[in-house]
Amino acid sequence: MPLTSTDLSSAQLDQLVRSVASQPEAFHQLVLALMPMIAGEQPLAAETALTLSTALHEIEQLVAEQDQLFTLINNHNAPAIALNEAGQILALNTAAAQLFHISTGDGLASLGIRRQDFVAFHQRLMNVPGPTLIKTQRLASRADNLPLIMMGRYNAQWQAFVLEALQHAWPQSIDQAIKALFGLSTSEREILSGLARGLHAEQLADERQRSVTTVRQQIKSLLQKMGVSSQLQAATLAATAAAQAINDRLNNQSSSMPRLPITSQLQVGEIMRAQRRIGWRRFGDPQGQKILMLHGPSFGAGEYEIDRSAATKHHLDVFAIERPGYGRTQLPNRSEDVLDCQINDLLAFMDDQQLEQVTLLAHEAGLIPALALACRSPERIKGILAISAAPPFQRLEQINAMPAHQAIFIQAARHAPWLARLMIRLLMVRTRHLGPERWTEVIFEGIHQDQQVIQRNQHRSGVIGCYSFYLNQLGAGFEVDLKMMLKDWSSLFSLAPCPVVLMHGDHNTTTPVRTLDIFRQLQPAADIRIIKNAGLTLALSHSEQIYQTLAEINQGRGISTPSG
């Protein structure tokens, strides 16, 4: 029989919270323990609240260290970056962030890598075993035209390219070997390192703040000790030893790469509005019909190859804006309402990209800002296709019908905003523990049909790609969505000035089909299309049908405008 929060002492509750980081079942147990208290009207006991919040910071730090993709990159001393197959940054270490002034979610442009060079890099990895090289360029140094060479390999476990900056130095083991073999002093080994970088005596003298005469004497000494007759021979000998050491270190890390071409690209960019960073993506057919995608909290914004392929097939040019708190887009300023912020972000983006008129693709909670945008600027919106959207919350039964591990967040937000934030942070803790391959268990655990879909091998790279998109701001986007969802947005749907089509799976356990009657009450002419044998994962299992319908809406075929 599950324990409730009233059955637990503060010490037991503290232990249960801390167990979320290491025990898969702990989050579920915590949900069952807290649900009875959250569903009530009484505030959480002060001692319980203090216990929950005190453990949070420590747990977040612990699990960040356990994050396997994070650890993979941070094991490198040199600047290191993990890119997905579309060229988007999944993870990076501090050295890379400082060197390039980049963050998770950025694309190839932030690294100064041209798309054709990335494709060529991909082909070299497929055709020749072992690591290869790629040229990058820091934004700050482009005026000086100073490239930075990075060594790259493919990591099959995470379906990611791992890039590491080539350092103009060798490992300590090689440095000590050079000292032992040739008897070189510390200064002479530093001079040798400079020679390996291609520096001549005058440059070395300037760098070391020594006279040219002194440096030339040191060069002459090290040449004699090494038994070579030229600076080039000395530099080549040392560099070869260093390269072999690096190669040995990589032997156990390189993985074979599937011989799959990069068929559809994901372009990544950003704009600024109100001193806030707003991220965006683009995929599909650049010459196709213009679509603006408003993502939800489950299926990313272009990470899945199945989305990109379907968009290309149906000649759709899809722009996907990263909503506040997700990916790179910063949270709204305190003076701006969360929904107004999203409308203003969308309009600013459309103006920036010169998108005069678009059709909207809205996933789940993305329907709310989609409707708000249509009401604000009806002349710019042809229609809306909403996937797996939940209607406005009008009765408690809607929340009670949801699986407990999903309903907990809405109940928490309804009960107390700080508690919703706490539960979201704990969800992120569990997400980090599960890692890039299994993180979707936090959504679909216990939902057999959806698990079968999300675990298909064709979706693996998409799942991994979405991991950092949702985790980048520790779930801040979920918190923004909860604020929107708990407000009454009924009028946005009933007064929608454009065609709205709702596609919904008949096996959707998050929003059962019966709750869609609320949409019909708000708009009797609502176009609701129930898809058989589909769950919340309708976005993936029926992507072909979704993009075909999207093209039809954009062309005005078989769609009628609802009467206000």
pLDDT of residue 9: 77
Among the three residues 219, 246, 262, which one is the final residue of a domain in this structure?
Answer: 262
Residue 8 DSSP SS3: coil
Whether the per-residue pLDDT at 144 is higher than 50: the answer is no
Query: 135-162 as b/e, with b when 16 or more CB fall inside 10 Å?
Result: ebbbeeeeeeeeebebbbbbbeebbbbb
Tokens of 42: 């009484």
For residues 294 and 173, membership in a common domain is answered with no
d(CA 101, CA 111): 9
Q: Which of 57-66, 326-335, 456-465 has the lowest mean pLDDT?
A: 57-66
Whether residue 237 sits in one domain with residue 102: yes
Per-residue model confidence as pLDDT tens digits over 262-282? 445 788 888 999 899 999 999
136 and 252 fall within a common domain: yes
The answer as to whether 23 is a domain residue is no
- Asked if 334 and 229 sit in the same domain, the reply is no
Q: How far apart are the first and last CA of the chain?
A: 51
259 pLDDT above the threshold of 50: no
Q: pLDDT, tens digit, for every residue of 184-204?
A: 888 888 888 778 766 778 888
pLDDT in tens, 375-395: 999 999 999 999 999 999 887
> How far does CA 128 lie from the centroid of its chain?
29
Residue 176 lies in a domain: yes
Verify that 493 and 351 share a domain, yes or no.
Answer: yes
Give the other-Cβ count within 10 Å of 12's Cβ. 14
The answer to whether residue 235 is domain-embedded is yes
Phi then psi for residue 384, to 5 deg, are -130, 130
Contacts of 377 (CB under 8 A, 6+ apart): 347
Of the two residues 41 and 385, the one the predictor is more confident about is 385
Mean pLDDT of 191-220: 84
Same domain, 102 and 247: yes
DSSP category for residue 401: T
555's tokens: 């062309």
b/e per residue, 408-427, with b = 16+ CB within 10 A? bbbbbbbbeeebbbbbbbbb
Percent of the chain with pLDDT over 70: 87
Instruction: Give the domain-ending residue among 262, 277, 310.
Output: 262
Q: What is the 3-state secondary structure (H, E, C) of 33-54?
A: HHHHHHHCCCCCCHHHHHHHHH
Q: What is the pTM of this model?
A: 0.76
Return d(Cα 552, Cα 546) in angstroms, integer: 10
Residue 342: is its pLDDT beyond 80?
Answer: yes
Measured on CA atoms in the order 444, 450, 455, 460, is the torsion positive or negative?
A: negative
Q: Are 117 and 258 members of one domain?
A: yes
In a domain, 41, yes or no: no
Predicted confidence (pLDDT) at residue 407 exceeds the cutoff of 80? yes
Residue 564 lies in a domain: no
pLDDT at 454 (0 to 100): 96
pLDDT band at 145, cuts 50/70/90? low
Cα–Cα distance, 551 to 342 (Å, whole number)? 24
What is the longest distance spanned by two Cα atoms in the chain? 92
Q: Using CA atoms, how far apart are residues 93 and 76, in angstroms rounded to an integer?
A: 8
Same domain, 167 and 225: yes
Angle at 329 between CA 115 and CA 64, to 5 degrees: 90
Residue that is written with structure tokens 């950025």 in the block: 106
pLDDT of residue 260: 41
Average the pLDDT over 466-487 and give the result.
Answer: 90
Q: Are residues 81 and 216 in the same domain?
A: yes
Q: Does residue 48 lie within any of the structural domains? A: no
CATH of the domain at 548: 3.40.50.1820
Tell the burial category of 167 from Cβ atoms under 10 Å away from its Cβ (0-12, 13-18, 19+). middle
Q: What is the pLDDT of residue 477?
A: 95
Chosen domain end from 216, 245, 262: 262
Residue 221 pairs in a beta bridge with none
Cβ-based neighbours of 186, under 8 Å, separated by 6 or more:
none
Give pLDDT, residue 559: 63
* 3-state DSSP assignment of residue 135: strand
Say how far apart CA 33 and CA 266 lie, in whole Å.
42
**Number of independent structural domains in the chain:** 2
> What residues contact residue 333 under an 8 Å CB cut-off, 6+ apart?
274, 275, 276, 341
- The radius of gyration of the chain's CA atoms, rounded to the nearest angstrom, is 28
Q: Tell whether 181 and 95 lie within a shared domain.
A: yes
Structural domain of 237: 74-262
User: With 90 as the cut, is the pLDDT of residue 283 above it?
Assistant: yes
Question: Which pLDDT does position 94 carry in this prediction?
Answer: 78
Collect contacts of 251-258 with beta carbons under 8 A, ≥24 apart: 253/153, 253/155, 253/162, 254/129, 254/130, 254/131, 254/153, 254/154, 255/153, 255/154, 255/155, 255/156, 255/157, 256/129, 256/154, 256/156, 257/125, 257/126, 257/154, 257/156, 258/156
**Which of 3, 6, 24, 15 minimizes the C-alpha distance to 54?**
15
Could you give phi then psi for residue 518, rounded to 5 degrees?
-60, -40
Mean pLDDT of the chain: 85
Residues 230 and 123 in one domain: yes
Contact 358, 290 (CB under 8 A): yes
The DSSP annotation for 457-514 comes to: GGGHHHHHHHHHHHHTTTTHHHHHHHHHHTS--HHHHHT-SS-EEEEEETT-SSS-GG
Does residue 404 lie in a domain region?
A: no
Q: Could you tell me if residue 67 is inside a domain?
A: no
Whether residue 123 is found in the same domain as residue 78: yes
Q: What is the CATH number of the domain that holds 123?
A: 3.30.450.20
Amino acid identity for residue 523 in this structure: Q
